Structure 1
Amino acid sequence: MPFPVIDISNIDDPQHQLTIAQQITDACKQWGFLLIKGHPIPPSDIQEMFSLAKDFFSLLDNEKDPWPINKNQIGYMGSFRDKNNDDKMSMWFGGLPGALENNSEALPPFWHTKTQRIEAFKHECHALVLKLLVCFAIAMDLPDNDFFAKAHRENIGRGNSLRMLMYPARDKKPKDVGSRMGQHTDSGSVTLLFQQAAGLEVLAPSGEWVKAPCERDCILINLGDALSFWSGNQLKATLHRVTFDGLPHDKERQSMAYFGAANPDTVLQPLLSGVTMGKYYSNGLCVEPGITVGELNKQIMTSIYGPAVAV
């Protein structure tokens, strides 16, 4: 089964929207992942973010380490700092619009003059997430095309998070570490992954691990457990990882992930009529109907990163 690659350039055209919605939804039912092309985010904006991230990750540790991730999910995390002891660096930009400027003390000084550009890029990502959520509602024949989208308002709750990632190149493979990124599913609704090189591995419908493709001007999309559970497990949240086999210790890789999540007080009741849904597990945790998005996110983030970043 080939990895799904879908052109969404006509996603706003009423004559093409249903077809695109069905293609996206079918991919998410089978894979939980897809590659989209023809998306509305300008390549120059994406490249600007990658360039800023590259400059930041090249700074000395003492210019990054004193600003660890806080409960607003703003700050820096170096390699081997998460619970899995993974070899990746990450810079997190969480919060509602305006949160970065209002919490500048949580940011390394490098970012103090760049918060408006980060906020603008987050806004572009959020707009794309909403378009995809509308597609799911259309393809699932829900009575309201905005059923999912209206629960993802940008200025409500705790906001969405942009995470810049760097997998550093090293002369030798570190000893007594986990992997590059341990296998997991995301906690939210829709993740946009921008890549400069391949390296992410996805658990395919066949049950085999495959390397997700990296193509120019494309965005890798995957779903999180909140949306998967909410859909009654019709939409799939898929395990993914980065290993030292897939990305050797002497190879560098940059990526950026935008995590689109529903407002924290959104109650997750599976969308099934007359069908009993089996137990749903997220990163080893059993999810029960009636849990809120905020509660689910806190459980998953605690299990992966520890209580310091759980909100």
Structure 2
Amino acid sequence: MAMNHGIHTIDTGFVRPHFDAAYLVVENGRGAFIDCGTHYAVPRMLEALGNAELSPADVDWLILTHVHLDHAGGAGELIAQLPNAKLVVHPRGARHMIDPNQLWAGASAVYGESVMEETYGRLRPIRAERVVEAPDGHVVDLAGRLLRCLETPGHARHHLTVYDERANVCFTGDVFGLSYREFDTANGPFILPTTSPVQFDPQALHASIDRLVALKPAAMYLTHYNRVEDIERLSHDLHAQIDAMVAIAETAQHDHADRAQRHAVMKEELTGLYGARAWAHGWEGSRDDLLELIGMDIELNAQGLGVWLDNMQKRAS
């Protein structure tokens, strides 16, 4: 088999080029997709099959790392085009794929119906008999190639990482952070954690990262974006930033009773944190460039930290 072990990266076209990836793994003429992007990514997924000399009937599996819409929004539409495929998803996420109304309603309450339609497209339900629940350790057999589903919470409680034993690589969804190629330098890739709403858990995220590093994989395949190596350094960077982000959140909570002010302070502090680390890494962009590339991530990370702070406060009361 070729050195890429039959792994094909698919740019789903979400937000901008090289922002959101899905993957096609090919083994002995059979295929498995890992994540699928939004409804609007389905033509790109089918085009990737043709490029790999497969037909829709040759796909056995669509495996979701989690059901956030940039990873799973197109799952129902894609499965409808794959006559022999089953969907593999964490047990906590299965019901949202069978009946996506709650998922849609929750996101629409935040973003509004029109933005949801424009950004993600409608969510299509998947018949229950085509959905396979994957608890920790569940093995997907792709023509004899074992794809092991590992429970990796921290970003979301229903998050799986797919460990490809043949290639010795992990498909990490969002649990091993974000590494946009625009930040690559002579020092390698740059990485930052994602704490987007609503289930950030720093202890669980630390533990999930350590679990994956312990496998000693040759590479991680991130949704945002593509293959990264140098895993020991990147994991150290993620751990350090998670701790720094928690410290930023706790200080903002202590200093600002008003939630809007707390949020604004966290955004500013996160911008400073990521900028300082990117420039120390050798990236030569400006603050405006930084905000253009990761402004949305900074906003979502601050929102997620805010939810975490509120949940901690509720537990303490």
Per the TM superposition, whether the score is higher than 0.5 is no
Higher relative contact order (CA 8 A, sep 6+): 1
